[in-house]
Structure 1
């Protein structure tokens, strides 16, 4: 009888023990006007999720062709405008942009072009991870971590234009909505998350 009671107690307390060791939920932080001013001095990494997309036209997995945008989930007209608006807001805030990297998918490249112009580098290791196996994700996660961690010279900020699932795989954070800009401080061998700016928050920040 004692064995049965002990087993019951152990099973009853197991969820509590599991909850104690579970990783804390990610807490999104809003960017303050003070941080926005700090970005003017450079040295940060800006991770932009591509603009709004047409979810009724998903990627044609496993037949996605990086050279054929028709096989990929596309930007909407609104999504292109969101990317344009984010780029304009960054310039209005006098935030300097240096090296810019984009995922190879069309929705990211088109967002990079709309926001920052033609001077961006396509990096295949920023590819959308949601359709990948765990093993396939590892190089993408490693490359993203490296770009968020590597020091950035003063007077400039590094920009990545990519996807929400990639950050989810890296740090448990899925930025919403599309077009959100996520700010990081590179620390050399790691990085620090500082805050996020949703597209609709720029107007208040810039006032």
Structure 2
């Protein structure tokens, strides 16, 4: 309920000119431009967890309860590993450790893509529905990680969930803009800016679950 109210207020307050972004991939002019910019470093890559189609919806909303959560599918685990390979193939430099939320679909995505030893789990990337009374604290954690400057030559990677980003960045990343397994490419700063949505491993018919 809290999430729905916040989203409604955000959408009502958004300028009418705000346009939903369109996912792009390498091999297109827009995708190649994002990849070229990422090779320079200094940006944030916010990765939405991988494919969860066919998995049961969240039921317990407890961080440690895998059985009560919507988990990454078998296809999603393969997608996660392929995302890590594609970043290497495209020579996109990544700052270590990669930061991931503690809900299993985010954590599993990060560990399959980058290796568990290269991942640090943080409550700052907690899913909104799991935050309870800590929602504003979690939102502030997202804002901080999206805003703090990133060194040239590397990109900060955050692995989390779509709704917190919609709450912060607004309608451009809502709707069908941000599929599972896609990156929001963010220019950090006090007024951080989403430069685009990059899909390295798109799945036919994938990107959105039914929960």
**TMscore range, shorter length:** 0.7 to 0.9
Q: Which runs of 5+ in 2 are unaligned?
A: 1-11, 25-29, 204-211
Match of 2:196 in 1: 195
Q: TM-score with structure 1 length normalisation?
A: 0.77
Which of the numbers 60, 66, 70 marks the counterpart of 1:69? 66
Relative contact order (C-alpha < 8 Å, sep 6+): which is higher?
Answer: 2
Q: TM-score with structure 2 length normalisation?
A: 0.76
1:139 aligns with 2:132: no
1:179 aligns with 2:174: no
How does 1:91-106 map onto structure 2 within 5 Å?
A: 91-99=88-96, 100-106=98-104
Q: Give the drift of 1:50.
A: 0.4
Match of 1:23 in 2: 15
Q: Which moved more, 1:166-175 or 1:83-92?
A: 166-175
Match of 2:37 in 1: 38
Q: Give the drift of 1:141.
A: 1.3
Question: Which entry has the higher C-alpha Rg, 1 or 2?
Answer: 1
- Are residues 97 and 27 of structure 1, via their aligned partners in 2, closer, same or farther at CA, if it must alter by over 3 Å? same
Taking the aligned partners of 1:138 and 1:21, their CA distance within structure 2 comes to: 18
Q: Which runs of 5+ in 1 are unaligned?
A: 1-19, 203-207
RMSD of aligned Cα (Å): 2.3
DSSP 3-state at the match of 2:50: coil
Count matched residues: 179
Taking the aligned partners of 1:21 and 1:124, their CA distance within structure 2 comes to: 28
